[in-house]
Structure 1
Amino acid sequence: MTPFDQGAGFALQAAIVAHLKADAGLKALIGDPPRVVDGPSRERVYPFVSYDDARETPLGPAPGHVEHDIRLSVHSRYEGRREAKEIATAIVSALNEAPLNLAGRRLVSLRAVYSDVFHRLETDAHQGVIRFRAVTEAI
């Protein structure tokens, strides 16, 4: 695998989005059908979750092993940070070590490594950022 082969990243993104959209706890917080979008949403129906930056890096000398650095964002207009934190907590609960099925790959691990919630003045909304680290291998 070369650093320019994005197949592993696309497979992981599809599995993560499908898993989040199927999670009952997350649906209760962001609506049904759940508002999980690829990048910033133009529709601006709050709250919603966006799949943001993702980076794939070949891992060690073993061919087909890839490390993924993934960022998901929570967007909320609720007064205060509570709603954004509840949604971020539900995302971490749904994804940490989740048994995701990836097309052509096996998920070795998936863990949240960072989380933050802050106020964005330009949108008058709160944003939560959750960073995940994943490792996949070719099958």
Structure 2
Amino acid sequence: MTAANALLVAIHARLSADAALVALIGADGIRDRLLPRPALPCIVFGEVETRDYSTASEAGEEHRLLLEVWSEAEGRRQAEEIAGRLRELLHDAPLSLSGHALVSLTHVRTRTGRQPKAKLFMAELQFRAVTE
């Protein structure tokens, strides 16, 4: 399993094990893609970009990943509340990766907005992870 996939598996496990987050999004609220008629709110794994981050002595990779929070609530409050919980759960989280070591996982930014065509609110969270 690649480090990026191991990271996604570990993130999914951490998020789905959190009772407070599951109460906000439901038991099936974490997905790999936004379905045509999704049950909202939900969290969707977005893009993952992986780059070589090796040193002279250690092999390593840097991963930039996006998590999207989708909500059909009237305002952005619900999306921002879920995004806040994601930051709490993942920023500097000591995740265990299968076959790899997580050096760091940090929240880089959160961007929120309304998707005019879909009339949904979305919060997009970017994280940076380094693995060995």
Question: What TM-score does the superposition give when structure 2 sets the normalisation length?
Answer: 0.94
Q: Structure 1 residue 85 and structure 2 residue 80: aligned?
A: yes
Equivalence for 1:3: none
Name the CA distance, whole Å, in 2 between partners of 1:25 and 1:110: 21
Equivalence for 2:96: 101
Equivalence for 1:36: 30
Where 1:105 maps in the other structure, the secondary structure is coil
Are the aligned partners of 1:65 and 1:136 in contact in 2 as well (CA < 8 Å)? yes
Name the CA distance, whole Å, in 2 between partners of 1:34 and 1:98: 22
Match of 2:13 among 13, 18, 24: 18
Match of 2:45 among 40, 51, 65: 51
- Between the aligned residues of both structures, percent identity stands at 37
Equivalence for 1:27: 22
Unaligned 5+ residue runs, structure 2?
none
Match of 2:131 among 104, 123, 136: 136
Name the CA distance, whole Å, in 1 between partners of 2:79 and 2:97: 28
Question: What TM-score does the superposition give when structure 1 sets the normalisation length?
Answer: 0.89
2:55 alignment partner AA? P
Unaligned 5+ residue runs, structure 1?
1-5
Q: CA deviation at 1:18?
A: 1.1
